[in-house]
Structure 1
Amino acid sequence: MLKFILMVLLMTLVVDSWLAVQVSLFVASFVFGVYSLNGFSFSCLGLGFGLDYIGYILILLSFWIMALVVSSSQKVENFKDFDKVFLLVNVFLLLSLVLTFSCLDYLMFYVSFESSLIPTMILILGWGYQPERLQTSVYMLFYILFGSLPLLISILSLYSSGGSVTFGLSLVPDCSASLLGVWYVCSIMAFIVKLPVYLVHLWLPKAHVEAPVAGSMILAGVLLKLGGYGLVRVCPLFVHSAVTFSWLWVSVGLLGGIFVSFICLRQTDIKALIAYSSVAHMGLVLCGLSVFSWWGLSGAVSVMVGHGLCSSGLFCLANMVYERLGSRSLLVSKGLLNFMPTMALWWFLLSTGNMAAPPTVNLLGEISLILSVVSWALLAMLPVALLSFLSAAYSLYMFSLSQHGKYFSALFSCCSGKVREYLVLMLHWLPLNILVLKGSIMVC
């Protein structure tokens, strides 16, 4: 595993050349992609780092999304807007993600998990759009740190009582049910905020709206998956408490997803709509991880990967519209079909991916999640059905309102799209539909 970490570190030496970093990221994606795993539960072991199937697929997603982030941020390079610093920040963000998904002890995991917050803040502060980005960065910092500090205390308590913080070797000592419940909540609160779950999701739309396209893509593509990955790693320590609280998280995930879907249906900002839809999808992921079944785990991983590709592509599309129109409002950017006709195909393909239409990997994941939740409680069938319906409703609302209607009278001739933009969108959409042919890689 160290060779891949060294590969990312060496990218810091070529930040003088935009093309070199871009090619390096695609090469790293290819090399890591063909680096097949064997049938053991862990591989690439050594010096506290290792991989299992979940870490492997999420590191591959991190490499791929980061390569697309650099490709879609060409405007930074064209205007020489501190492009070297921009590349350096992105490479360090990738390094923190690779370390997070490959480390084998909880303390290293915590340090890597929190370190990804700093490059994200720098991206929003340095290349964000509005003056409110300072307030948003501080808001996000305090929101996530407030949830994360109890996790550090929990990990230190785990070491103090059990003598180890290594995955699979750590044991929670016998204690009263109430104390165990408090310990469990403190341990998973950081991941609940990072996922984010409804009621602690308010930092996400603000961060997305103020972030540049690179920040939005990496935030939706990979950073939200840190919450799901953390739940996969920490919940096995507290199996009894996690099973006891399953009803709470399934209820919050389903009902919160429905409430957020209704919020999506009244959004006029494209980026805010896509950000809120992420909360709805992650609510379903939380349900799958809470019911403790193989269907739920494999479905959650599939939805995390599918959502990472699809949501990142939608943010990329929203940025292309913003660069041409100077606005993200659906009331201004109407009738895009008239002067960006070829781009409408990508709006349609990624919108259908957002609603989990076949043959996307989102469909594979949502079927698994629906099966796991409904088999856990038959009563959950109604909110799950409503959530699926509303997912299609707000995706169609976004597509129809942006592509149809009378376009703004002040608009004149507009470039429909460049080859680079079509390539970036294709590289989002192709894995989203090809991975469904190899669904077994998601089944851990």
Structure 2
Amino acid sequence: MMKFIFMLLFMIPLNFKWFWLNQFFYFLVMFIFIMSFNWLNYYSMISMFMGVDMMSFLLILLSVWICSLMIMASMKVNLSYNKNLFLLLINVLLLVLILTFSSMNLFMFYLFFEMSLIPTLLLILGWGYQPERIQAGLYLLFYTLLASLPMLLGIFYIYWLNKSLDFSMIMMMCSSNFYLYMSFNIVFLVKFPMYLFHLWLPKAHVEAPISGSMILAGIMLKLGGYGMMRLMVLFQPIINYNLYFMMISMLGGCIISLVCLRQTDMKSLIAYSSVAHMSLIIGGVMTMNYWGLIGGMVMMISHGLCSSGMFCLANISYERVMSRSLFLNKGMINLMPSMSLWWFLLSSSNMAAPPSLNLLSEIMLLSSIISWSNIMMIMLMFMSFFSAGYSLYLYSYSQHGMFYSGLYSFSNGTIREFLLLMLHWLPLNLLIMKGDIFIFL
């Protein structure tokens, strides 16, 4: 594992010279990483405190993929200012994310989990759009930091009990301590975010640059899911408390889906739809059965690609119209007919239409949650219906109708933009053919 860490460290001088070569090297890192993994469900590639199992492997791949596409999406940064600092931040962020997902020690996981906030915050503050980005950055920072302080105390308590913080060692420990359960889960529920803890997410997305939105939707939300999957097994004796979190997240998913239907900002709509999708993952993981765990993992991968792609589409429209409002971004099918196809493909993937990976994950999560409780069927029914509703609303409102007459000049999509969208959509729809790899979790 150290070879990948050193490869990223030695890439730092490259950040100050060539913009596009960085992206090539990220793809190279990913290729070598896939080739050197042995596809087993226990830890491999062990070095120092790091090791990769199937769950870490998939999320590290997603991290490298999204970080490379962030460079491709951020053409404006290349043409304007501080591009070297921007590339350095992406490099550091990827380094920290790989360390987070490959940590085999609970304290190291916590340390890098918190460190990943800093480059994201700097991306929002440095390259965001409106002055409100400072407030959005503070929301992001304080929500996460405040919730994670009890977890730090919980880690020290586990060390005092267990004399070890290795994941392999603490998995043998079963705790019925309610305070420990709360201190470990609240931080992940804020990171997801669960309904009631979600206020930082739409703010951060709306104010963030395209690269910030991509990394937030693609990876940062998945840190919560990864942590919960790793640590929920510690609390098997008091698993009954999961019921309350599941009820809040399922009900919250329905409410947020309705909130999506009255958004006028494209980015805000996509951000709220992320909260609805995350509530499904919370429900699946908290059932504590195998089907729910795999479904949650598949949805984390599929949502990372789909949501990131939709933010790219919103940004492509924003770069032309200079507004994200749905009232101004109308009739785009007249102005950018080829981009309209990509809007359709990614919107349909967002509502879990076949053959997207979202469909596979929703089938798994629905089966898992309904097997746990039949009453959840009502909320799942509403969530599935409204998810199709807001995806169609976003597509039809932005593509059809009379386009804004104040648009002075307009350019169709560039090859870079089509390639960017293709690299989001292809893995999202081809991975369903290799669904069996997720069974090795």
Distance (whole Å) between structure 1 residues aligned to residue 173 and residue 76 of structure 2:
54
1:199-249 C-alpha deviation (Å, 9 max, x unpaired): 0000000000000000000100011000000101111111122x2112112
Counterpart among 370, 377, 382 of residue 381 in structure 1? 377
Secondary structure of the equivalent of 1:44? strand
Partner of 1:50: 51
CA–CA distance in structure 2, aligned partners of residues 29 and 41 of structure 1: 20
In the alignment, which of 363, 366, 383 is matched to residue 370 of structure 1? 366
Structure-2 residue corresponding to 1:340: 336
**Pairing 1:227-306 to 2, within 5 Å after superposition:** 227-241=224-238, 243-306=239-302
- Contact kept? 2:40, 2:54, Cα under 8 Å: no
Counterpart AA for 2:140: M
Equivalent residues of 2:174, 2:235 under 8 A apart: no
Checking the alignment, whether the CA contact within 8 Å between 1:162 and 1:171 is kept in structure 2 is no
**TM-score (normalizing by structure 1):** 0.97
After TM superposition, give the deviation of residue 40 of structure 1 in Å: 4.5
Amino acid at match of 1:156: F
Cα drift, residue 254 of structure 1: 1.1
Matched position secondary structure for 2:417: helix
Question: Matches of 2:37 and 2:219 in 1, distance apart?
Answer: 21
Q: Structure 1 pair 437/318, CA: closer, same or farther in 2 (3 Å)?
A: same
Identity %: 49
Match of 1:133 in 2: 133
Matches within 5 A, 1:16-165: 16-79=17-80, 81-165=81-165
> Normalised by the size of structure 2, how large is the TM-score?
0.98
C-alpha contact (below 8 Å) 1:217/1:315 kept by paired residues:
yes
Q: Distance in 1 between matches of 2:303 and 2:174?
A: 39
**Structure 1 pair 419/174, CA: closer, same or farther in 2 (3 Å)?**
closer
Match of 1:193 in 2: 190
CA distance in 1, matches of 2:39, 2:70: 30
Q: Per the alignment, in what secondary structure is the counterpart of residue 169 of structure 2?
A: coil
Contact 2:174 2:236 in 1 (8 A): no
CA distance in 2, matches of 1:219, 1:310: 13
Alpha-carbon separation, structure 2, partners of 1:28 and 1:432? 20
Deviations 1:395-441 (A, max 9, x none): 00000000001111111441110000000000000000010011122
**2:219 aligns with one of 219, 222, 242:** 222
Paired positions, count: 439
CA separation in 1, counterparts of 2:264 and 2:112?
A: 36
SS in 1 for 2:355: coil
- Alignment partner for residue 428 of structure 1, among 402, 424, 428? 424
Describe the SS at the equivalent of 2:253.
helix
1:304 CA displacement = 0.4
Deviation at 1:171, TM superposition (A): 6.3
Matched, 1:170 2:170: yes
Q: Distance in 2 between matches of 1:51 and 1:402?
A: 42
Structure 1 residues 238, 17: CA separation in 2 closer, same or farther (over 3 Å shift)?
same
Q: CA deviation at 1:37?
A: 2.3
Q: Which amino acid aligns with 1:289?
A: V
Post-superposition offset of 1:46? 1.9
Residues of 1 paired with 2:320 and 2:43: CA distance?
47
Q: Is the 8 A contact 1:260 1:276 kept in 2?
A: yes
1:205 equivalent in structure 2: 202
Contact 1:162/1:172 (8 A) holds in 2: no
- The letter of the residue matching 2:306 is C
- Compared with structure 1, are the counterparts of its residues 281 and 68 closer, same or farther at alpha carbon in structure 2 (3 Å cutoff)? same
Query: In 1, distance between residues paired with 2:254 and 2:392?
Result: 16
Bigger Cα displacement from structure 2, 21-30 vs 264-273: 21-30
- Indicate if the aligned counterparts of 1:336 and 1:402 stay in contact, CA closer than 8 A: yes
In structure 2, distance between residues paired with 1:140 and 1:381: 33
Q: Answer yes or no: is the 8 Å Cα contact 2:291–2:365 preserved in 1.
A: yes
Q: What value does the CA root-mean-square deviation take over the aligned residues?
A: 1.2
Q: Secondary structure at the match of 2:21?
A: helix
- Once the 2 structures are TM-superposed, how far is the Cα of residue 358 of structure 1 from its aligned partner? 0.3
Q: CA deviation at 1:74?
A: 1.3
Q: Is the 8 A contact 1:197 1:283 kept in 2?
A: yes
- Contact 1:339–1:413 (Cα < 8 Å) also in 2: no
Which residue does the alignment assign to 1:2? 2
Q: Does 1:399 align with 2:386?
A: no
Instruction: Say if 2:39 and 2:54, in contact at 8 Å, map to a contact too.
Output: no
> 2:36 and 2:395 mapped to 1: Cα distance?
38
Matched residue SS, 2:298: helix
Aligned residue identity for 1:290 = M
Q: Whole-Å Cα distance in 2 between the matches of residues 334 and 33 of structure 1?
A: 42
CA offsets, 1:350-383, max 9 Å, x none?
A: 0001001100011000100000000111111111
What SS class does the counterpart of residue 328 from structure 1 fall into? Answer: coil
User: Partners in 1 of 2:35 and 2:321 — Cα distance?
Assistant: 40
Partner of 1:378: helix, strand, or coil? coil
Matched with 2:411 is 415
Aligned equivalents of 2:85, 2:174: Cα separation in 1: 49
SS state at 1:333 partner: coil
User: SS at the partner of 2:45?
Assistant: strand
Deviation at 1:172, TM superposition (A): 8.4
Which of residues 308, 326, 331 in structure 2 aligns to 1:330? 326
Instruction: Report the Cα offset of residue 30 of structure 1.
Output: 2.0
Structure 2 residue runs without a partner (length 5+): none
The DSSP-based 3-state class of the residue aligned with 1:224 is: helix
Q: Distance in 2 between matches of 1:417 and 1:20?
A: 23
- Residues in 2 aligned to 1:316 and 1:328: alpha-carbon distance in whole angstroms: 12
Quick check: 382-391 or 5-14, which moved more? 5-14
Give the letter for the 2:200 counterpart.
W
CA distance in 1 between counterparts of 2:30 and 2:324 reads 31
In 2, Cα distance between equivalents of 1:401 and 1:69: 27
Decide whether the 8 Å contact of 1:327 with 1:333 is kept in 2: yes
